[in-house]
Amino acid sequence: MKNSIFTQITYLYSYIKEHKKVLIFSFILSIISAAIGMIQPLFAKIIIDRVLLANNKKLLMPILIIMILIITVGFIIRIANNYIYTRYSAKFLFKMREDMFYHLHKIPLTFFSKTKIGDIYYRISSDMAEVQGFVTTTLPNYLFDFLTCVITTAILFWLNWKMALASLIFMPIAAYIIIKIRPILLIIGKKTAEKNADLSHFIFESISGASLIRSFGAEKFERKKMEEKHSGILKYILKYQILGAVTGVIPVMFTIINIIIVFGYGGILVINGSLTIGGLVAFSIYQGRVFTPLQGLINGLLSIQNTKVSLARVKEILDILPEHNKEENTVFKKRSLRGDIVFKNISFAYKKKEPVLTNVSFSIPAGKTTAIIGASGAGKTTICHLITRLFIPDFGIITIDDINLGNIEINLLRKQIAFVSQDAFLFHTSIIENIRFSKQGASDAEIIQAAKAACIHDFIISLPNGYDTVIGDRGAMLSGGQKQRIAIARAVLIKPRILILDEATAFIDTQSEQRLKKTVSELMKNRTIIIVSHHRLSIKNADTILVCKKGKVYER
């Protein structure tokens, strides 16, 4: 029962409880709407037996008026209920998606290194859409179909219990078939979701690397890979459809049996005088009304299997503990940092048994420029990530100003440390919005000052739209050096106490790099600057140089 759909739905209760009263009211309206929908065949019985066969003309018009009014009221109730339910169920589902999106920005970054970005995107979009469709459409329809079946069955037994019992004799067989097929559908649904997530990642990766694919003329190769992935998905879709068709046999068999009962056994009862013609007509109508909701219930079971898989995949992310808990011992919340950084016996590995840093100890003095050098994979970028708490060391302690890094409130830390990497990430928006991203309330004057410090102002104003120029996805309209300088402007805008430049000038020419270093140094005077670089010119004026080699750090 641990992974049953009912157990998983209880997981949604924290989102539902805010709108619990409204949803209970909606449930009551559903019962009323279903009950009203069942009245019409009874009126048919009355009209046939008491009006047509009894030749009672006076009773015809009042019955028709009452029947039309009841049907109209039922229609209005159902429309209103659909609006109420959709409005409030959508609210808590949107809240769930927002929480999931926000939670993704809080969980350890190691999750992203182990999980395909396409799979994550698929969970946010398609899996959440599946859950949303279940709650806003499948669940209310399933409830309505269930109530319709229950009420209809009760009326059928009231009209003629023997005929009703004969009509439902096939139901145990139908239940057995569904119970046997259900686990298989669950496995197929999970495999289909995984294959679709893999396809989403492939499409995302292929589009992101469009220039590389074209440069090697690999378009046909990429298309072939997509065809192979489609074939894999189709295999599971067809299995799902075949099993779905088997469950579809159930309503067909139900219809055949009911035809025999109504026109065979029911006809004999009418001839013998044990059942009125109106009663037979009403029974036939009610029996026909069982077919559609029964088919809806069976289709709903198939939808539940898909939802169970999607909800489990969503829950899998929401259950990951955030990198920084609200309950952590955040002693320092308002203090401005000087920038004295000390690593004490630090060890860290992205994967177990593959250490990047081993028992490392060193210090970075406040208000000075420290360079970090070493071969690729020596741990330079890892040191930067640990300082910013993007990752947490496996062993050892990191302090800033003699304060344990874990005791500094995370938002305070992030506001006083700016990190610029070699692969500068820019958003598909204007230049001014990309720079302002680090400080949402920054004025235009502050942004211009930061752009000047990063030696990018002159280039920006030379553009037709200046700072309002939209730079494309990931800054596609800019060169590597221009993207890096905008990223540096974004970093210095917050005037951090600690500025980390991780190969942040790799795409900038030597002359521009020297000018940029001078302007940034003036803006960051008496503040801590950490430079990771292979360029000798970038580190020649550093006060301290740290050398990374085979998981160790040496100072010189």
Contact indicator for 101, 124 with CB cutoff of 8 Å: yes
Beta-strand pair 552-555/498-502? unpaired
Joined together, the tokens standing for residue 504 give: 């942040």
**313: three-class secondary structure by DSSP:** helix
What distances in angstroms separate CA 177 from CA 170, 248, 251, 352, one per listed residue? Answer: 11, 11, 12, 47
What distances in angstroms separate CA 227 from CA 208, 222, 224, 232, one per listed residue? Answer: 19, 9, 5, 9
The Cα 400–Cα 392 span in angstroms is: 14
Joined together, the tokens standing for residue 525 give: 């005077």
Segments making up each domain of the chain, as ranges: 5-186+240-318, 341-555
Residue 107: CB atoms within 10 A of its CB come to 16
Residues facing 430 on adjacent strands: 470
Domains 5-186+240-318 and 341-555 share a fold: no
The Cα 417–Cα 497 span in angstroms is: 6
Q: Which strands, in side-by-side order, build the sheet including 417-420?
A: 417-420, 498-502, 528-532, 369-374, 544-549, 552-555
Nearest C-alpha neighbor of 182 from the set 269, 69, 309? 309
**529: three-class secondary structure by DSSP:** strand
Angle at 169 between CA 275 and CA 147, to 5 degrees: 80
Element (H, E) at 262: none
- Say how many CA atoms lie within 13 Å of 122 toward its Cβ: 21
Max alpha carbon distance in the chain (Å)?
Answer: 112
The Cα 102–Cα 131 span in angstroms is: 18
**545: three-class secondary structure by DSSP:** strand
Cβ-Cβ contacts under 8 Å for 413 (sequence gap 6 or more): 337, 388, 389, 400, 405
Contact indicator for 139, 258 with CB cutoff of 8 Å: no
Blockwise average pLDDT, block size 10, the chain, 556 residues: 57 72 81 79 80 80 85 86 78 79 80 75 78 75 80 84 78 71 76 82 78 75 87 86 74 74 80 81 78 71 74 81 57 71 90 85 89 84 88 90 85 85 84 89 89 89 90 81 87 88 74 74 80 70 84 77
Model confidence pLDDT, tens digit, residues 419-447: 888 888 888 889 999 899 888 888 989 99
Contact indicator for 126, 201 with CB cutoff of 8 Å: no
The Cα 341–Cα 370 span in angstroms is: 11
Joined together, the tokens standing for residue 511 give: 């002359």
* pLDDT, position 342: 92
Domain 341-555 sits in CATH at 3.40.50.300
Nearest C-alpha neighbor of 492 from the set 422, 430, 439? 439
What distances in angstroms separate CA 147 from CA 85, 258, 379, 397, 490, one per listed residue? Answer: 17, 20, 63, 62, 59
Q: Burial code of 120-151, b = ≥16 C-beta within 10 A, e = fewer? A: bbbbeebbbebbbbbbbebbbbbbbbbbbbeb
Beta-strand pair 403-404/369-374? unpaired
What sign for the dihedral angle of Cα 453, 455, 459, 462?
positive
The architecture CATH gives domain 5-186+240-318 = Up-down Bundle (1.20)
Joined together, the tokens standing for residue 394 give: 């496996």
Beta-strand pair 417-420/552-555? unpaired
Contact indicator for 116, 330 with CB cutoff of 8 Å: no
